[in-house]
Structure 1
């Protein structure tokens, strides 16, 4: 595996790989877990070479968020990627991604409204900007993202479609299903923040979501069901529920009932850690 930290090296490495087949990119912020490695394995099925980026993007963190505390473990992550047969690790510094005088921002409206877009102002501008830069730097034939960040995936696809990106084309931006621990909790780098007590209580989240989805499928009105879900989380030890909403899976528009394409989106905080999850509502 080749590890590069500067753009001239990256361009040379990408040109060499492209001369010998296709490239799939898996963008990450590091602190890799099996969810990330599942993306890598899926990428290896689709392309000749897998490139992974590790960059903790300051532009997607808001004031008071965990930018400084976010786990950084490049050596450990690199070993995991090498074991998976990754061809290229792109690990730029902040000065490489945002050099002095940097002044450009990408803002995607519509799909970024509400949910994490409302709770974390400016977050999706930072996501869209850094992902567009990564696409332009690596020029992958395809890119893979986890569906745990479903709204993020919708933002990236909208950005790629609206800007007429070619490498990758919007149709080559693939979502990969959420990888969960045995108790159902979605894997996340931020799960490492949880104390043993909070980690046990956090498993209430996917269970409460499953119960809410079952009630909605049985024809119960969504609003009281979602209120019950919030109460269940607060009773289990969550300190706050940022949102529990039905949204259209494609447009991310709010829904009062399942339209056949609905997903349940939840964000809740426990012990200072913010967890997000989403699940399909329709069978």
Structure 2
């Protein structure tokens, strides 16, 4: 049974580090949540460390720039670790070959162009047509405001028939941009698997992103970590697999499932919803605050 709390401060003394999701927890893709920012600042002011752990398909510095534009102060976090960081490492290691067909928007170009220092001397990754490619790198849809996975059926069927692997830079299936719900790279990766193809994942809930977060903070094995997130398919099972506690933000992706007051989920509705998904995060909260 999950424990519903009203503020992070109720439990923060039990933890050294937060692994905090971004979209749906710290911001809505358009603007930051002031109460969430204040909660992270307060945690750090008492000696805690904050890792912003996001399934964004871009290297961390692009995520930092987006947070700057939203007005999120730098004293709210210590490091950012993105699915893009972990997936980029795999791409440069050759996980899907050196010639790749990229499903990406202009904002994702840094994923391909910004070569990490440790890969500066590796053979180049070349973006080519589907016909020439050895594998696929998917950062998202070409146009996530108008397209759905079904628009990619012909391309992905061809790729599957050729036995190509798909590297997914963002395991999220959907995200809310303000009031609009959009498909993410994870939706295409799942669709590809439904067609019989093989998809490779590196963001939440998969281990590589957590391993990278521990490495960047040089965390001790016994560090007390609390994972904060609104993604039942990503944040919560990811924390469980890592053996760390989770705080489920009910006012994120599933905001309309737990009663009329987003800030105060109805316990009965929440418990039933979690049970149907076989999840039991240690804590739940309406909005991070």
TM-score bracket relative to the smaller structure: 0.3 to 0.5
TM-score (norm 2): 0.35
- Give the TM-score normalised by structure 1: 0.35
